[in-house]
Amino acid sequence: SSLLLMSGVVVTVGLCRRLARSRLRSRPRLFAFLVEMFSTFQICACTNELSLLGNVEPKPHTALTLTYGFTVLHGLTLAGSTCNPCGTLQPMWGGGTSLRMGGLKIAAQFVAAVLARVFMHFIWSLEMAEPHFGALSQGCSSPLQTTEMQAFCIELLFSVVFQLAVLRTESVNPKYRVHLIALLITMLVYAGGNLTGAIFNPALAFSLHADCFYDKFLSYSLVYWIAPCLGKFLILYVF
């Protein structure tokens, strides 16, 4: 049921992106906003569902396999979208994207994060699959299993490694590049998922753990918003 749900989200988003591409080319700002929103919605919705499958046996092989598989799928179906506020900062920093367009895309990413969370909570309330039972009663299921300073350093390091890999693989054939990036993300999730969740995406972090941001906004914004953005700026400064 979970796999069918995530596959349905991917297909629906693909149709919405194609419709926007065919109907809104003459309105670039609206087109950019909607495409970025649809794409980020796909990643946030699927990752919300994947977060419930972490305890499926055999652990952690099932969760890591699904993480790798859906990361490849996202890479193949969401070409041209960053789906990450940190990734949107790069063209803004280099002057390739205006401040207004960059802000529009970041707004679209956070709108999609909220919509994905609302959508998945509605789906979970229907309890169509066993992992959905009791999912809404967890509240803030904190991913932080270490100190704030260690979590900050982990998310900062992971962001630097991820952004560096993205830059270094720009010249690689796209059909191979998605597998390299997916393998790296899976390795990072395996290395630090039990400590911080290994998210390094501010919009995705908010979609996954909005309740925790409400409870401990300063701590979670430091770890899941400031650390990834700082990692991105470090890479941009070095390069």
- pLDDT tens across 157-191, in order? 999 999 899 888 988 998 899 999 999 999 999 99
Distance CA 148, CA 100 (A): 33
Average the pLDDT over 185-201 and give the result.
92
**What pLDDT score does 180 carry?**
95
Q: Sorting pLDDT into bands at 50, 70 and 90, what band is 149? A: very high
Give the residue-averaged pLDDT of 30-38: 95
Determine contact, residues 85/109, Cβ cutoff 8 Å.
yes
Cis previous bond, 58, omega within 30: yes
Higher pLDDT, 6 or 58: 6
For 150, residues 6+ apart whose C-beta sits below 8 A from its C-beta are: 195
Q: What is the mean pLDDT of residues 30-50?
A: 95
For residue 57, what pLDDT band results from cuts at 50, 70 and 90?
confident
Q: Looking at residue 139, what is its pLDDT? A: 65
Q: Is the pLDDT of residue 152 over 90?
A: yes
* 231 or 25, greater pLDDT: 231
Task: Provide the residue ranges of all domains of the chain, joining segments of one domain with +.
Answer: 2-238
pLDDT at 36: 96
Architecture label for domain 2-238? Up-down Bundle (1.20)
